Structure formats: structure tokens, C-alpha cells
Amino acid sequence: MDDCIFCKIASGDIPADIVYQDEQVVGFRDLNPQAPTHVLVIPKKHIATLNDLLPEDEEIVGRMVGAAREIAMREGIADAGYRTVFNCNEQGGQTVFHIHLHLLGGRPMTWPPG
Ligand code: 5GP
Ligand code: ZN
């Protein structure tokens, strides 16, 4: 997608602090971190929202979760614990319409989320 900021990060057209990359997904630090570790894991393929996932995309979502696990290990937050979040559409708080898995850690999380 031409005007998608996360497609541009995935292709390298816009710089980001990339912490993980494989053939299907990219992980980079959030510009406005909400925790000591705040990484966004995105698919290289443009998918606007979770509602737009196709059955054949489920492998990609599995890779996203696997990448979050790997990044949590590398960041040293795996044992203490962390949170992973997909926001979907307006009431879910989604502001960038290219799916992304938030990985948040390095501090205690509260529940329920706001
Ligand atoms: P959402 O609200 O859609 O779930 O999350 C979007 C996230 O993307 C926000 O946490 C926001 O700080 C982050 N973000 C938006 N634009 C950029 C950008 O250009 N670079 C990076 N690294 N993060 C961004
Ligand atoms: Zn995109």
C-alpha cells in the first residue's frame, strides 16, 4: 500500500529501530513507547485490520506471535512477563491501519486495560 506508514517501514523507505526481521515479519520499537520495552511486530504483507485477515494469513499471524516471543526473550522480559495486544478499529484503539502486535514489558501491567 503506497500511503501506509508501516508498509514503508517494512520496505525500509521510512527508518525505524528494527529489532527483529524474518521473511514474513518485522519488529521495531514504537515511536511513543508505553513501557520500557514497546515493540510493534508487523507482517510485511499489508493487512489493514484483524477483520481483513484471510484464512491463508493465519500462518503470518503465527509468525507474528513467534516473533514477539523471540523479542521478549532477547529483551530479557520473558520470565518477568509481558503483554501482547492487537487493537482493532476505533473502539479497539487502532490508529495505524496495518495490523501490528504490540509487545509491552519491563513494568507491571494493569488489568483491565483502559
Ligand atoms: P495502534 O494505536 O494502531 O494500536 O498503534 C499504533 C502505534 O504505532 C502507536 O503506539 C504509535 O506510537 C506507533 N507509531 C505510529 N507511527 C509510527 C512510526 O512512524 N514509527 C514507529 N516506530 N511507531 C509509530
Ligand atoms: Zn501497510
Task: Check if 88 has its Cβ closer than 6 Å to any atom of ligand 1.
Answer: no
Q: Give the closest ligand to the alpha carbon of residue 44.
A: 2
pLDDT at position 75 is: 98
pLDDT at position 2 is: 81
How does pLDDT run across 21-47, given as a tens digit for each residue? 999 999 999 999 999 999 999 999 999
Is the Cα dihedral 94, 41, 22, 64 positive or negative?
A: negative
Q: What's the gap in Å between 56 CA and the centre of ligand 1?
A: 26
**Strands annotated E in the chain:** 18-21, 25-29, 37-43, 82-85, 101-105
Series of mean pLDDT values for 10-residue runs along the chain (114 residues): 94 97 98 98 98 97 98 98 98 98 98 93
The environment of the single-atom ion ligand 2, i.e. residues with CB closer than 5 A, is 1, 4, 6-7, 46, 98
Q: Give the closest ligand to the alpha carbon of residue 38.
A: 1
In whole angstroms, what is the distance from residue 39 CA to residue 17 CA?
9
Q: What is the pTM of this model?
A: 0.98
Query: Is 46 marked active-site?
Result: no
Q: Please state the CATH superfamily assignment of the domain spanning residues 5-105 in this structure.
A: HIT-like (3.30.428.10)
- Nearest atom within ligand 1 for CA of residue 17: 22
